[in-house]
Amino acid sequence: MPEVSRFFGISIRMYFDDHNPPHFHAIYNDAEAELDIEKISLLRGRMSRRALGMVIEWATAHQQELLANWELMRSNQPPNRIAPLN
């Protein structure tokens, strides 16, 4: 599962040929959450409110890049790195 970004100890990852809807995985310490790219909302999992807030802020700013990476990965191509949250 390639890491597409990392910030404040949060790893953002995507799987090759993953199931719909378009989503990404956010991992922080022992918590993991899947977030819908189009709705920027939690699909499943858990994460602290603070970490989830940062992930949502980052995903909102990079939604188009996430969707482009989703399409790349569905075609078995490596994703592009995405700038971290500042």
pLDDT for 33-56, tens place per residue? 999 999 999 999 999 999 999 999
| Exposed/middle/buried for residue 11 (C-beta within 10 Å: 0-12, 13-18, 19+) | middle
The CA R_g of the chain, rounded to the nearest whole Å, is 12
Q: How many CA atoms lie within 13 A of 66 on its CB side?
A: 25
Q: What is the per-residue pLDDT for 48?
A: 96
DSSP line for 29-40? TTEEEEEETTTT
Query: Residue 18 pLDDT > 90, yes or no?
Result: no
Does the predicted model carry a pTM greater than 0.75?
yes
| pLDDT band (50, 70, 90) for residue 86 | confident
Instruction: Of 3, 15, 35, give the one whose Cα is nearest residue 76.
Output: 15
Query: Could you tell me what percent of the chain has a pLDDT over 70?
Result: 100
Q: What is the per-residue pLDDT for 16?
A: 85
